[in-house]
Structure formats: C-alpha cells, structure tokens
Amino acid sequence: MENRTGHRDEPIDARIARAIALRYRSRFLQGYVRSKIASDPIYRAVLPRLRGIAGPVLDIGCGIGLLGQLVREAGLAIDVVGIDFDERKIDAARQATAGIGGLRFELGDARKPVDFAGSAVLLDLLHYFGDDDQRAILECAASYARPGDVVIVRDCIDDGSWRYRATWLEETIATSLGWLRGERLNFPTKESISAVFRERGYDEEVVPLWGRTPFNNHLLSYWKR
C-alpha cells in the first residue's frame, strides 16, 4: 500500500492570521482566531495535502470557517463547502466570509449524506459522537471522494497515553463551558478510523500532529485510488 509522505508544513504569515481575525465582529473570536492559527499545527499540515486536488472540499464540522479562509488565502483554486450543526458558528462563518468567492457554509448533520462529490476534511469532530455515529460520518466522507481526492481526519487518538488523558481533560472543560457542542466524548482509535478506508482500498498516511501542545492529535489522510 502506497504511503504518501514528504508533505512539508506550510507556514502561515501572521498578517494573514490577523486579517482573518479582523473579519469577525467579537473581540473574543478575534483573539481566538489569532491564537488558533498561530498555535495549532493543523492548518499548516492540511494545506499542502490539499494542493493538487481538483476540488471541491467539504469541511465537515467547519466551525467558524477558518479552513476555508486559509485555503483562499493560500491561493488554492478550490471551492470549500462547510457544514456544522452549531448555528452560532455557521452564522459567524457566513458573516466573516461575506463577499469572499468560493466559500459556502450551511447547517448540516455530519452523520447524514449530502449532495457532494470531492475531498473531505474532518477536524476535531469524531470524538463528540458514539462509535456507530463515527462510522456513519466516516462512511459518508469516504462516499464523497472520487479518484485522486483525499479525506483528511484530525483527531485525538485513544491510545491510553498521557497525551490522550491531557486531551480528554481539555475537551471536557471546553464542552462544560459551552463553546464546544457534542453528545459525548468518545475518542476514536486509529484502527476504528482506518478500517473504514482500508475496506474501500484507500491509500493511507498517518502522522502525529502534536506541535507544541500536550495533546494526542494525529493527522490521518486517505487518498482515493
């Protein structure tokens, strides 16, 4: 099985982070966006994996729409459709991206298929769902891809490590404060994710994505043959 490696993280200029942050109305979101882009390695890792695909991209659990804006700022000529079941975040994403072409944000349930064909990205989403729902989400994502497309998953992997326990604590606090919405915390294993794509003959790349954080995040990329 081919393992696609050699992707180099793409640095994100602080001026881009600042420009995106200023598109949001609230001071809280402005500060959150600057901090998120600066400290979280996810966007620097995802962007190079989206280069070369034909597009479009479905951002499943898109939150306030950061990935789509960074795709546009990086000069990638692909449309991004974001879905999320949190109306507050969809409203914030729409407000911030008003007038920016190729970006669309809709209320949606990740467990239910949508009319879409292309690549998919799921960032920090699966662990808010039970096992059956996680599989339904992954099967939906896998069904959208065409040959040459990619499905990218970033999540904390349940491997019993201290990083896993630190992530569980942080997510528990964030959920209790109401910023993150989910039915439960149920972190997936690597095998539970990979099995869905292995059954369908995808090529796989799995790399740790800790950055300078204590969290047990991993980036799992699956290419449709």
Task: Give the percent of the chain with pLDDT over 90.
Answer: 86
CA separation for the pair 60, 37 (Å, rounded): 18
The tens digit of pLDDT for each residue in 147-174 reads 999 999 999 999 999 999 999 998 888 7
pLDDT at 31 over 50: yes
Residue 1 has a pLDDT of: 33
Residue 167 tokens read as: 């992530």
Ramachandran area for residue 52 (φ above 0: left; ψ -120 to 50: alpha; else beta) = left
Q: For 14-107+117-223, which CATH class?
A: alpha beta
Residue 59 has a pLDDT of: 99
Q: What is the mean pLDDT of residues 128-138?
A: 97
CB 103 within 8 A of CB 79: yes
Q: What is the mean pLDDT of residues 5-20?
A: 88
- The whole-model pTM stands at 0.92
Mean pLDDT score across all residues of the chain: 93
Residue 183 has a pLDDT of: 56
CA separation for the pair 155, 60 (Å, rounded): 13
CA separation for the pair 81, 98 (Å, rounded): 14
Q: What is the residue extent of each domain of the chain?
A: 14-107+117-223
Residue 111 has a pLDDT of: 98
| CA dist list (Å): 36 to 20, 23, 68, 129, 144 | 11, 15, 14, 23, 28
Task: Give the percent of the chain with pLDDT over 70.
Answer: 95
